[in-house]
């Protein structure tokens, strides 16, 4: 008697096919993100394509989101938020009045104020302030809509990154990209609708929680693309396996899976695996082409900084993001850092020596992001592409270790561009020392998510998924669209 399980058969057959490109979808785990409880909503998915295009709630301003996550949390006090009073009071203790209403239980404690040696100038008709760390991005001052009163919960990277991507403080909630894919489906059947790009050999901090589908069906999880010419592991056929043989084997797997799925229509993981095999087959040609910029002009490559060793890795990610945008990918999440820089400067987490840390990381991202905005604009894509510059939190005006900055979730800067936002506009601000957002202007992660969804034609209050008897939505029970920021 053969006691081999069906799962064993699928796994072994899949590896024989080289078809576990699924494993590349999730380094170390495949496309399956989490177990999913029985839910009637899945009945409707059985036998249907869960990634078929769907209509938005209303006419969208944007078709695609490029989500630029500055990993490690830069000090926006040293990039966009000019504070003359901080410069004046540097080296002194912070007045107690600035700390009212907050808990400063972060690593370094509250020490003396610190100001970096920046040269600040206003740019564009908007008069937006930029430090000399971002000379190229400053040229796009009138393309950006600033949120200078961003707030979040928590002051540890893993928790705040989870909240930034999912709106929740505990694992198990879908990321914003997963909600977008669930709501709108795919605009290109040959590519994932939700792609994650990063420029390190390892996964970003937090791993799969950056792009998980949570309680949504597993098929809506993001697909991470690795650096290099082979973005997904095991995507290509093994040696000596003809394409026709691969197709026959996939047809057999599909038939078996469909038979099994008819008995278990709520098994979202099986459905996701079936779809991922088919998508992987289609992606054998489309994925490498989508990230191959060899045919881009030398001028375009230079625009993104590909001719400079410092800017090349991040510039390649953003050029790939533009190419994916052109090919109908709905949500492209780009995670900056870590880089080949050693020690504490691997990302923006400047607890020590902020001058050295931020001078390096600013140079890494400044020209490529400016190039992305200029390229999108030249190709007529910026109006329908929403670019979001974001981070898990900001950094304090007081020092840590004498020459670094601690974590600040009470007031920091983020920005958006394109996709129907009000270019050249600034929403909110922080106090004179850059500690806390001005009361009444705070923008939490939930509000940012609600605004991004709104630009895609989605009402965050109507975007509902039934889970364990509860009507879940992307912004939990919070969130409001920042109407002042949009046209």
Is residue 335 over pLDDT 70? yes
pLDDT at 41: 43
Smallest CA-to-CA distance from 430 within 73, 76, 74, 133 is with 76
Which residues neighbour 226 within 8 Å (Cβ) at sequence distance 6 or greater?
24, 27, 198, 232, 233
pLDDT of residue 10: 38
- Asked whether residue 217 carries a pLDDT value surpassing 50, the answer given is yes
Q: If you average pLDDT over residues 173-199, what whole number do you get?
A: 95
Rounded to 10°, the helix 243-263/6-17 angle is: 160
Residue extents of the structural domains in the chain = 59-236+296-485
CA gap 241, 16 in Å, rounded:
9
Phi, psi of 23 (to 5 degrees): -65, -30
Q: Which residue in this structure is represented by tokens 């290109």?
A: 188
Average of per-residue pLDDT across 212-226: 91
User: Which of 175-189, 233-247, 324-338, 431-445 has the lowest average pLDDT?
Assistant: 233-247
CB 419 within 8 A of CB 386: yes
Q: How distant, in Å, are the alpha carbons of 63, 179, 323, 329, 475 from that of 326?
A: 10, 21, 5, 8, 28
Closest alpha carbon to 19 in 275, 250, 286: 250
| Buried/exposed code over 46-73 (b: 16+ C-beta within 10 A; e: otherwise) | beeebbeeeeebeebbbbbbbbbbbbbb
At 239 the pLDDT is: 54
- The structural architecture, per CATH, of the domain 59-236+296-485 is 3-Layer(aba) Sandwich (3.40)
Poorest-pLDDT segment among 33-42, 156-165, 255-264, 332-341: 33-42
pLDDT at residue 37 is higher than 50: no
Residue 16 CA to residue 246 CA, distance in Å, equals 9
Statement: residue 456 has pLDDT above 60: yes
pLDDT of amino acid 212: 94
Q: Please give the C-alpha separations between residue 411 and each of 200, 288, 298, 329, 396, in angstroms, as whole numbers.
A: 29, 41, 40, 32, 9
pLDDT tens digits along 411-427 = 999 999 999 999 999 99
The answer on pLDDT for 289 being more than 80 is yes
Per-residue model confidence (pLDDT) at position 14: 36
Percent of the chain with pLDDT over 90: 65
For residue 372, say if its preceding peptide bond is cis, omega within 30 degrees of 0. Answer: no
185 pLDDT above the threshold of 60: yes
Mean pLDDT score across all residues of the chain = 85
Structural contact between residues 222 and 353, judged by C-beta atoms closer than 8 angstroms: no
Confidence of residue 49 (pLDDT cuts 50, 70, 90): confident
Structure tokens at 367: 């020209």
In this structure, what token pair is assigned to residue 399? Answer: 């020092």
Confidence at 15, pLDDT banded by 50, 70, 90: very low
> What does the alpha-carbon distance between residue 26 and residue 15 come to, in Å, rounded to a whole number?
15
Distance CA 315, CA 300 (A): 11
């Amino acid at each position: 008697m053969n006691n081999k399980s069906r799962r064993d058969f699928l796994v072994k057959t899949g590896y024989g096919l080289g078809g576990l490109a699924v494993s590349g979808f999730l380094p170390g785990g495949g496309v399956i993100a989490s177990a999913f409880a029985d839910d009637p909503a899945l009945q409707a998915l059985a036998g249907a394509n869960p990634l078929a295009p769907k209509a938005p709630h209303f006419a969208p301003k944007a078709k695609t989101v490029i989500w630029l996550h500055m990993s490690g949390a830069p000090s926006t006090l040293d990039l966009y938020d000019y504070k003359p009073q901080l410069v004046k009071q540097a080296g002194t203790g912070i007045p107690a009045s600035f700390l009212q209403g907050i808990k400063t239980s972060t690593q370094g404690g509250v020490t003396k104020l610190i100001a970096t040696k920046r040269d600040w100038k206003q740019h564009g008709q908007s008069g937006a302030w930029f430090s000399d760390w971002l000379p190229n991005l400053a040229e796009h001052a009138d393309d950006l809509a600033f949120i200078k009163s961003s707030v979040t919960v928590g002051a540890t990277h893993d928790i705040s990154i989870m909240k930034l991507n999912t709106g929740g403080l505990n694992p198990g909630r879908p990321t914003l990209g997963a909600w977008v894919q669930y709501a709108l489906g795919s605009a290109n059947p040959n590519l994932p609708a939700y792609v994650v790009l990063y420029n390190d050999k390892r996964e970003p901090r937090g791993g799969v929680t950056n792009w998980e589908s949570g309680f949504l069906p597993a098929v809506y999880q993001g697909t991470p693309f690795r650096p290099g010419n082979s973005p997904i592991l095991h995507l290509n056929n093994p040696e000596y396996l003809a394409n026709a043989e691969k197709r026959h084997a996939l047809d057999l797997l599909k038939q078996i899976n469909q038979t099994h799925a008819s008995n278990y229509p709520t098994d979202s993981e099986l459905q996701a695996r079936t779809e991922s095999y088919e998508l992987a087959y289609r992606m054998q040609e489309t994925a490498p082409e989508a990230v191959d910029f060899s045919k881009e002009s030398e001028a375009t490559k230079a625009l993104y900084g590909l001719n400079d060793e410092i800017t090349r890795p991040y510039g390649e990610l953003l050029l790939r993001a533009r190419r994916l945008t052109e090919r109908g990918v709905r949500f492209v999440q780009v995670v900056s850092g870590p880089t080949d820089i050693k020690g504490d400067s691997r990302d923006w987490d400047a607890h020590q020596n902020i001058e050295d840390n931020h001078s390096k990381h600013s140079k890494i991202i400044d020209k490529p992001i400016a190039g992305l905005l200029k390229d999108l604009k030249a190709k007529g894509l910026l109006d329908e592409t929403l670019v979001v510059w974001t981070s898990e939190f900001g950094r304090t005006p007081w020092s840590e270790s004498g020459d670094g900055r601690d974590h600040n979730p009470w007031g920091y800067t983020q920005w958006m561009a394109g996709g129907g936002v009000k270019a050249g506009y600034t929403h909110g601000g922080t106090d004179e020392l850059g500690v806390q957002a001005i009361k009444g202007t705070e923008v939490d992660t939930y509000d940012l998510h609600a605004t991004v969804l709104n630009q895609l034609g989605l009402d965050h209050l109507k975007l509902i998924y039934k889970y364990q008897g509860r009507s879940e939505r992307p912004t939990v029970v919070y969130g409001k669209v920042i109407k002042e920021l949009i046209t």
